[in-house]
């Protein structure tokens, strides 16, 4: 029976996640998970498109952002985002805009951000509709007039075609459902996340990188994988594994820099400030891995070449052993 190294340190985050109970008892396919999540998000987006100009402004800003950050992929599919955004802006009918929105196939992280931003921007509006919130001292004598002004200002800014409060309630409900379902998907992969984190903590990092940091990074990587995975391009398990691999590579670089710049004693404290920053740097690496595997499968249908080159494939063990046997280079005498 193997034992952990003497410098092995337990992680509170690991213990908390280990106690996670899966609320989805059955094993669904990648398509079932992601299509259900996409439907929840679409249910939240549709009323905004139908009744406001919010997504006209959002997509314009998103297009400008991608022009500055052209290496970032905002769509889960190879589509011409500028062309689709322009078509979206030129449409008069909400039904046509919704169809173009579906074609855009924006990564789920961007959709979540857009919906949260929509609700945050209307907090003042909700207070005004409920006759609540601070009133400027000059208007203390007639607060209702001020609340009416605030409500009308927001409605005019969004060019609403129907009352906003029911839309806000719809968006909040479906956004909550989307968050809850995504959490349930993450629960299905929590054990996988912990297994990879613990294995790499011992064998790769040799207990020199805090297990709390590794677990949190891998959990964030799994969340990003769910946001960016397209069910038509492969299974979610493989996509998450790609993100774990790049997370490990980035943590390795981080550890190397720490060992060069600070004494080992400083590693005893957990530093989680950089966890969010490095996740976005991994996206390019993940995309490259997926692209290489796709080309490798096209060029090597049987798989023997991929095994020889060490390109990891999720195949049955017997199949892997057979492919290794036929792909072993011949020894020269």
- pLDDT 10s per residue in the chain (333 long)? 445 666 788 888 888 888 999 999 888 999 999 999 999 999 999 999 999 999 999 999 988 888 887 778 889 999 999 999 999 999 999 999 999 999 999 999 999 999 999 999 999 999 999 999 889 888 888 899 999 999 999 999 999 999 999 999 999 999 999 999 999 999 999 999 999 999 999 999 988 899 999 999 999 999 999 999 998 888 999 999 999 998 998 899 888 876 554 343 333 333 334 434 444 455 555 555 555 556 555 655 555 555 555 555 555 566 656 666 655 554 443
Q: Side-chain half-sphere of 198: how many Cα atoms within 13 Å?
A: 18
Angle at 206 between CA 284 and CA 191, to 5 degrees: 65
The tokens describing 316, both together, are: 């049955």
The domain segmentation of the chain, as residue ranges, is: 30-183, 189-299
0.75 exceeded by pTM: yes
């Amino acid at each position: 029976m193997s034992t952990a190294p003497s410098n092995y340190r337990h992680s509170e985050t690991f213990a908390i996640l280990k106690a996670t109970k899966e609320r989805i008892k059955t094993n669904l396919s990648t398509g079932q998970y992601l299509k259900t999540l996409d439907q929840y998000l679409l249910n939240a987006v549709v009323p905004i498109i139908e009744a406001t100009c919010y997504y006209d402004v959002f997509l314009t800003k998103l297009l400008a952002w991608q022009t500055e950050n052209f290496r970032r992929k905002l769509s889960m599919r190879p589509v011409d985002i500028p062309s689709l955004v322009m078509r979206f802006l030129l449409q008069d009918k909400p039904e046509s805009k919704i169809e173009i929105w579906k074609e855009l196939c924006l990564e789920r992280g961007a959709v979540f951000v857009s919906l949260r931003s929509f609700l945050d921007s209307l907090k003042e509006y909700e207070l005004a509709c409920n006759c609540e919130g601070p009133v400027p001292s000059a208007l203390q004598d007639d607060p209702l007039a001020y609340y009416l002004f605030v409500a009308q200002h927001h409605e005019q800014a969004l060019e609403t075609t129907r009352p906003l409060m029911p839309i806000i309630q719809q968006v909040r409900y479906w956004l909550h459902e989307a968050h809850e379902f995504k959490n349930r998907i993450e629960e299905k992969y929590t054990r996988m996340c912990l297994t990879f984190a613990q294995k790499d903590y011992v064998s790769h990092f040799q207990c020199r990188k805090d297990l709390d940091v590794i677990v949190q990074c891998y959990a964030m990587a799994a969340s990003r994988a769910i946001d960016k995975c397209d069910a038509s391009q492969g299974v979610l398990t493989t996509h998450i594994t790609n993100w774990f691999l790049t997370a490990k590579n980035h943590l390795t670089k981080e550890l190397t820099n720490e060992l060069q710049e600070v004494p080992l004693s400083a590693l005893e404290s957990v530093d989680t400030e950089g966890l969010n920053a490095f996740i976005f740097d991994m996206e390019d690496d993940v995309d490259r891995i997926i692209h290489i595997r796709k080309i490798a499968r096209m060029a090597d249908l049987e798989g023997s070449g991929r095994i020889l080159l060490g390109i990891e494939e999720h195949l049955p063990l017997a199949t892997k052993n057979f492919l290794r046997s036929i792909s072993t280079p011949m020894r020269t005498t």
